[in-house]
A and B are shown apart, each in its own frame.
Chain A
Amino acid sequence: MTAPLLHCENLHVRFRTQDGEVLAVNGVDFEVRRGDCVGIVGESGSGKSQTAMALLGLLADNGVSSGSVRFRRKEILNAPAEQLNRIRGSRVAMIFQDPMSALTPFMRIGRQLCEVLQEHTAMSRREITARVMEVLEIVQIPEPKRRFEMYPHQLSGGQRQRVMIAQALLCKPDLLIADEPTTALDLTIQAQILDFFKSLKKRTTIVIITHDLGVVAGLCNRVVVMYAGRIVEQGPIEEIFMGPQHPYTRALLAAVPRPDWDPDKPLPMIGGQPPLATRLPKGCSFAPRCAHAVDRCRQETPELRGRQHLKACHLDLPQ
């Protein structure tokens, strides 16, 4: 078997705040193989975004990461800035939730895109322009020639997100990390972008971070479910959706109103609130909200176990 493209082992992320240390990511292991499309799913505060930020060394100043992240067999966690800069933007690209904040407002779209290539390649000016136009066409932006001359505020949210994706694709990255790429968009625009992501799968390996299981369903081939800084379950998409093992995954899947749910019945739901990262409960973090929890769950933190389909739960729930 070949080595995975990205291998993340025992990743921890801590933040020092006024109120004490916050453990945002607590021992995360996963790998991404070439050609995969991996979905990292979790609610806010589950540590999914911080995991992505830590991978690329983009944590806030008060954040510290430890563990190991290997990209193409090379250790990149806490690597020197020079090495990371070479990787970021060319080999690994990232797309953020808010496209406006990631584009410079005073620069024309075309120039912003060209600059990325000037930084990372030795292409001539003509080649660069040609490549930028090519990518703008790949992301299916209407009238790419006109957009090239525009400023970010002149574009709509959906178009800005497409420009962001174009920027990410410029250097033909091996890995594309998308953090909530559709959350800020309207439903019909979200459908457009998701549809586009499906065609993108052929070009590159994708890690998509989202709170929306619906986004993952039609897109990914592997799913990682996170809760309170840990992975609670991961596996091939069919197994996660058809036979979820962890009670949290099950509850999460059941909590989304489906088109065939009888609207007069109350929705099945998870009681209580997610724990604060400063006050994690002892044992399994989900135990206080879990309908199946037993004494062992409140004492012992479950390990992530399994071969293809992994779960972090002491119990073996019936299907």
Chain B
Amino acid sequence: MSRTLLRVENLKVYFPTRTEGGIRRRYVPLKAVDDVSFTVAEGETVGIVGESGCGKSTLARAILQLIKATRGRIVWQGEDLTRLDRKAMNEKRRDLGVVFQDPLSSLNPRMTIGNIIAEPLRRFRSELSREDINAAVLATMQDVGLNREFLNRYPHEFSGGQCQRVSIARAMILRPKLVICDEPVSALDVSTRTQTINLLKGLQRKHGISIIFISHDLSVVRIVCTRIIVMYLGHFVEIADRDTLFGSPSHPYSQALLSAIPVPDLHSQDDGKRVILEGELPSPIEPPSGCVFRTRCPIATNYCIKREPVLAPRENGARVACHHV
């Protein structure tokens, strides 16, 4: 068993929101992430899956300390990040890379590709000479499959897939221990998407980095990650190994997500087997009592209204938050 790199303990991220209407305004917490715990080991790839509004991006930003956690601990190599001051936290960022969803808006339009990729080096390796930085940038560009001629060109001259390669190069140039990818491929077309997935997997293997891969697309997560967390309305509903989750999903929400993947295959569209959820995601300002999934769950009972399920281990090794499986 390899060493634990990151341990998130009982993390809560609440945003104050004003309620609508009335003269007297009340502040109600929006529970974006509500009491979640998980670990990431060295060299591990963890996937976090859920629909928009489930809190997965908030979770990523909270780990990176871009959003303040309301409660809970984020233990990075034995040190609690939530207790560090700005300066100490900024030093830790050397080992934490990040790739965001929108390829074009993640790159400063006024900087050249070369300068964008070099930025982390300038921040953390200020002893390097101009030539050294240039050499490192070119090596990284080659690593991610960017033509070296692009060095002095600007982001708006490139397609989404190439911009995402630049983001990956910037995240990787310091050889961080953990890279958090927030929906890195959902804005890309099919052909560039597979390129990017293969690139991320290749780099992960080559450099042995850990990855937290956040996506709404289970078919992509399955290719990239070895352990997968399914998230719904700020809660973890299932944590399982890849093969366990895809072989025998336990939580009814995982089952529905799995069957909702549109597959370009005429025979897999057998209507009988598909689980189509009723209704829509409830508001995180007024989450349902008890189990958050109960309003859309095909097997919910009265018991689910009263008691909130906790993640509990199952025979197949998965941990599931459900009273009925």
Direct contact of A and B (CB under 8 A): yes
Q: Are B246 and A259 in contact (CB under 8 A)?
A: yes
Q: Are A271 and B195 in contact (CB under 8 A)?
A: yes
Q: Are B191 and A267 in contact (CB under 8 A)?
A: no
Chain B residues with Cβ under 8 A from A218's Cβ?
262, 266, 269
- Say yes or no for A142: interface residue by CB 8 A criterion: yes
Within 8 A of B (CB), among A181-211: 186-192, 194-195, 211
Docked Cα-Cα span, A211 to B195, in Å, equals 16
Given A252-B190, A269-B198, A270-B191, are A190 and B266 also a contact pair (CB < 8 Å)? no
Q: Are A186 and B269 in contact (CB under 8 A)?
A: no
Chain B residues with Cβ under 8 A from A159's Cβ?
280
- Say yes or no for B189: interface residue by CB 8 A criterion: yes
What is the CB-to-nearest-CB distance from B277 to chain A, in angstroms, rounded to a whole number? 5
A211, A261, A266 — most chain B CB neighbours (10 Å) = A266
What is the CB-to-nearest-CB distance from A274 to chain B, in angstroms, rounded to a whole number? 7
Contact of A266 among B159, B201, B265 (CB under 8 A): B201
Contact of B276 among A191, A214, A241, A257 (CB under 8 A): A191
Segment with Cβ contacts to A, from B35-43, B109-117, B214-222, B308-316: B214-222
Tier of interface size on chain B: 35 or more
- Say yes or no for B242: interface residue by CB 8 A criterion: yes
Contact of A267 among B197, B264, B268 (CB under 8 A): B197
Q: Are B260 and A216 in contact (CB under 8 A)?
A: no
- Say yes or no for A53: interface residue by CB 8 A criterion: no
- Say yes or no for A258: interface residue by CB 8 A criterion: yes
Docked Cα-Cα span, A257 to B265, in Å, equals 11
Within 8 A of A (CB), among B40-71: 51-52
Q: Which single residue of chain A is at the shortest CB-CB distance from B52?
A: A186
Q: Are B51 and A188 in contact (CB under 8 A)?
A: yes
Chain A residues with Cβ under 8 A from B224's Cβ?
263
Q: Which single residue of chain A is at the shortest CB-CB distance from B260?
A: A191
Docked Cα-Cα span, A233 to B164, in Å, equals 29
What is the CB-to-nearest-CB distance from B24 to chain A, in angstroms, rounded to a whole number? 22
Given A187-B260, A191-B260, are A241 and B190 also a contact pair (CB < 8 Å)? no
Q: Are A44 and B260 in contact (CB under 8 A)?
A: no
What is the CB-to-nearest-CB distance from A261 to chain B, in angstroms, rounded to a whole number? 7
- Say yes or no for A256: interface residue by CB 8 A criterion: yes
Docked Cα-Cα span, A14 to B308, in Å, equals 58
Tier of interface size on chain A: 35 or more
Docked Cα-Cα span, A214 to B274, in Å, equals 14
- Say yes or no for B167: interface residue by CB 8 A criterion: no
Q: Are B190 and A255 in contact (CB under 8 A)?
A: yes
Within 8 A of B (CB), among A265-312: 266-271, 273-274, 289
Contact of B277 among A188, A251, A252, A273 (CB under 8 A): A188
Q: Which single residue of chain A is at the shortest CB-CB distance from B157?
A: A276
Contact of B262 among A190, A251, A253, A261 (CB under 8 A): A190
Within 8 A of A (CB), among B146-173: 159-162
Q: Are B265 and A274 in contact (CB under 8 A)?
A: no
Q: Are B266 and A258 in contact (CB under 8 A)?
A: no
- Say yes or no for A156: interface residue by CB 8 A criterion: yes
Docked Cα-Cα span, A274 to B268, in Å, equals 30
What is the CB-to-nearest-CB distance from A48 to chain B, in angstroms, rounded to a whole number? 12
Contact with A along B168-211 (1 / 0, CB 8 A): 00000000000000000000011111110110011000000000
- Say yes or no for A122: interface residue by CB 8 A criterion: no
Contact with B along A105-129 (1 / 0, CB 8 A): 0000000000000000000000000
A-B contact pairs, 18 of them (CB 8 A): A44-B160, A158-B280, A159-B280, A186-B52, A187-B216, A187-B218, A187-B261, A188-B51, A214-B264, A217-B263, A217-B264, A242-B266, A255-B194, A256-B264, A258-B265, A259-B268, A274-B189, A289-B191
Excluding A218-B266, A270-B194, A273-B159, 7 further A-B contacts by CB distance (< 8 Å) are: A44-B160, A187-B261, A191-B262, A191-B276, A211-B189, A242-B266, A259-B246
